[in-house]
Chains A and B, each alone.
Chain A
């Protein structure tokens, strides 16, 4: 069946870097866009941006420019979220979500989430 499987939880120190993976299976990877969504403690879902799985072009939401990098390896149907210079406020669950529809507006399949904890 169609699914997105993310890498496991991680604990990092402030200033370090982190890369979360999101592997797609059960469908043609390049047929749908891939979004990243953050859920910080006590807060709501926050859209971080998306990556065009055909061209590899990323687009970042306001507040997620600079330290956040979206990338792909289409040979293994996998998207990546890299966060550089980690801060304690980056502690959150990070989800990847497949986007469908003319405006990529319907997130019809989600990864299970990756808990990232940033603490000294």
Chain B
């Protein structure tokens, strides 16, 4: 099995831009799609990015996703930060048998 490593926490001010990374330990990041989920306290996770860079209906275009083969990582970028973006964010990918989540990143907007 591979692992997905995320920073434990990030913080930024409202209106600014933040990027959360997700590094795959083995196998190419480009081989399998990466998804990103937001989980606010007390709520179920919801997808904000699927298949590397696609936004589900209803997700604002302030959210974007990308992958970088050179660093074998994926990134979630949130621009124009709002206090409502404060949440835990998880990346997720897979191989032939398993789905794998990153450890999660706590985003604080202060």
Residues of A within 8 A of B (CB): 35, 37, 39, 44-47, 50, 59, 61-62, 95, 97, 99, 101, 103-108, 110-113
CB pair A110 B33 closer than 8 Å: no
Contact among B33, B39, B100 with A47 in the assembled complex (CB-CB below 8 Å): B100
Cβ of A42 to closest chain B Cβ, rounded Å:
11
Cβ of B31 to closest chain A Cβ, rounded Å:
11
Contact among B44, B88, B97, B99 with A111 in the assembled complex (CB-CB below 8 Å): B44
Contact among A45, A62, A110 with B101 in the assembled complex (CB-CB below 8 Å): A45
Question: A45-B101, A45-B104, A47-B100 known; 12 other A-B pairs, CB under 8 Å?
Answer: A44-B101, A44-B102, A45-B45, A47-B98, A47-B101, A59-B97, A103-B94, A105-B93, A106-B51, A107-B35, A110-B46, A112-B44
CB pair B102 A108 closer than 8 Å: no
> With A and B bound together, what is the CA distance between A25 and B101 in angstroms?
26
> With A and B bound together, what is the CA distance between A104 and B88 in angstroms?
23
**Is B90 in contact with chain A by the CB < 8 A criterion?**
yes
Contact among A46, A47, A99, A110 with B44 in the assembled complex (CB-CB below 8 Å): A110
Q: Which of A44, A46, A104, A110 is packed against the most chain B CB atoms within 10 Å?
A: A44
Cβ of A27 to closest chain B Cβ, rounded Å:
15
**Is B1 in contact with chain A by the CB < 8 A criterion?**
yes
Enumerate chain A residues within 8 angstroms of B103, measured Cβ to Cβ. Answer: 44
Q: Which 7 interchain pairs have the tightest Cβ spacing?
A: A44-B104, A110-B44, A45-B101, A47-B99, A106-B50, A44-B103, A105-B94
**Is B75 in contact with chain A by the CB < 8 A criterion?**
no
Enumerate chain A residues within 8 angstroms of B33, measured Cβ to Cβ. Answer: 101, 103, 105-106
> With A and B bound together, what is the CA distance between A62 and B95 in angstroms?
14
